[in-house]
Structure 1
């Protein structure tokens, strides 16, 4: 099961670490227009587009969005790796196949939400990990839908 560590670096599954999140100030960076295949902008491209605000790019609902750092390899099949930062929106309702941050029996996990009729399970995106069938005797809550992931190189 993939583990999720709160952005503030507290212990896996620590609910308080996800509640006590503080907002930071917005910063903008220059954004060069045009596409760059695998290099730098052409010196002939002197045109700069409006400044790029990563908050605007990554966050649709600021009041209900937070980020967590991912640990574990159960979601590598969809490009979410250990150390990545997952952007989670609590205002979105999960749909079948959404990637979600869920609280299962007191521990956080990042998985693909699956629903067929009354059956619900959390699907790993790595064949070496088992899916988690959600049963009535389990404590289960979806904390939000993952809208983006950020990889630090």
Structure 2
């Protein structure tokens, strides 16, 4: 049997996807990931691709147990008390801050729209996707493709997102708004030095 000559295919000058022209602006790689992590990875990629939230990181599945000393005595922001000369128990920050690691990720805050809720520019907030958002919760929401951290409210039977800074107006959600709640803010981390 004689091989059939095919005039299709082969290398063509200028053909194919241009480097850096994909969704992420860089070369991609196919990889196998655990099925339980697919949702987190997709959300991470969507958040980072939209580039309107600074640093996003997923909570690690295997949480390192490293408890630190916790003194039970309440400390006033005045003079120190010599009452706590002994350790009463230990505190693991991962255990304290993260309830469900497979549904939790971190977002670095950019901006000052939530300063009256003690969420400042540069803070890292903890987002838990497993919690059903309620009115009054601080949430991570997508509004017309842009991510924002605001307090969930309701106005005229429709969702409304409230800033915690009087310089900003509430975000009204109507039938034409592309709106999705991504998770509930459960805490914040701030470094002073």
1:87 corresponds to 2:126: yes
Q: Which has the larger radius of gyration?
A: 2
Mapped to 2, the partners of 1:112 and 1:35 lie a distance apart of 29
Relative to structure 1, the CA distance from residue 62 to residue 135 in structure 2 (aligned partners, 3 Å threshold; closer, same or farther) is same
Mapped to 1, the partners of 2:108 and 2:185 lie a distance apart of 12
Q: How many matched pairs?
A: 141
Residue of 156, 159, 164 corresponding to 1:125: 164
Mapped to 2, the partners of 1:68 and 1:111 lie a distance apart of 13
For residue 72 of structure 1, give the secondary structure of its aligned residue in structure 2: coil
Instruction: State the Cα RMSD in Å.
Output: 2.3
Residue of 90, 107, 111 corresponding to 1:72: 111
Deviation, structure 1 residue 22 = 5.6
Which stretches in structure 2 are left out of the alignment for 5+ residues?
Answer: 1-43
Give the corresponding residue for 2:187: 148
Relative to structure 1, the CA distance from residue 93 to residue 74 in structure 2 (aligned partners, 3 Å threshold; closer, same or farther) is same
Give the corresponding residue for 2:58: 21
Compute the TM-score of the two structures, normalised by the length of structure 1: 0.79
Give the corresponding residue for 2:52: 12
Is the CA contact (8 Å cut-off) linking 2:59 and 2:101 kept in structure 1? no
Is the CA contact (8 Å cut-off) linking 2:58 and 2:104 kept in structure 1? no
Compute the TM-score of the two structures, normalised by the length of structure 2: 0.64
For 1:26-105, what aligned pairs fall within 5 Å after superposition? 26-38=65-77, 42=82, 45-105=84-144
Structure with greater strand percent: 1
Mapped to 1, the partners of 2:124 and 2:174 lie a distance apart of 29
Relative to structure 1, the CA distance from residue 22 to residue 111 in structure 2 (aligned partners, 3 Å threshold; closer, same or farther) is closer
Deviation, structure 1 residue 65 = 1.4
Give the corresponding residue for 1:3: none
Runs of 4+ in 1 over 4 A off after TM superposition: none
Give the corresponding residue for 1:113: 152
Which stretches in structure 1 are left out of the alignment for 5+ residues?
Answer: 1-5
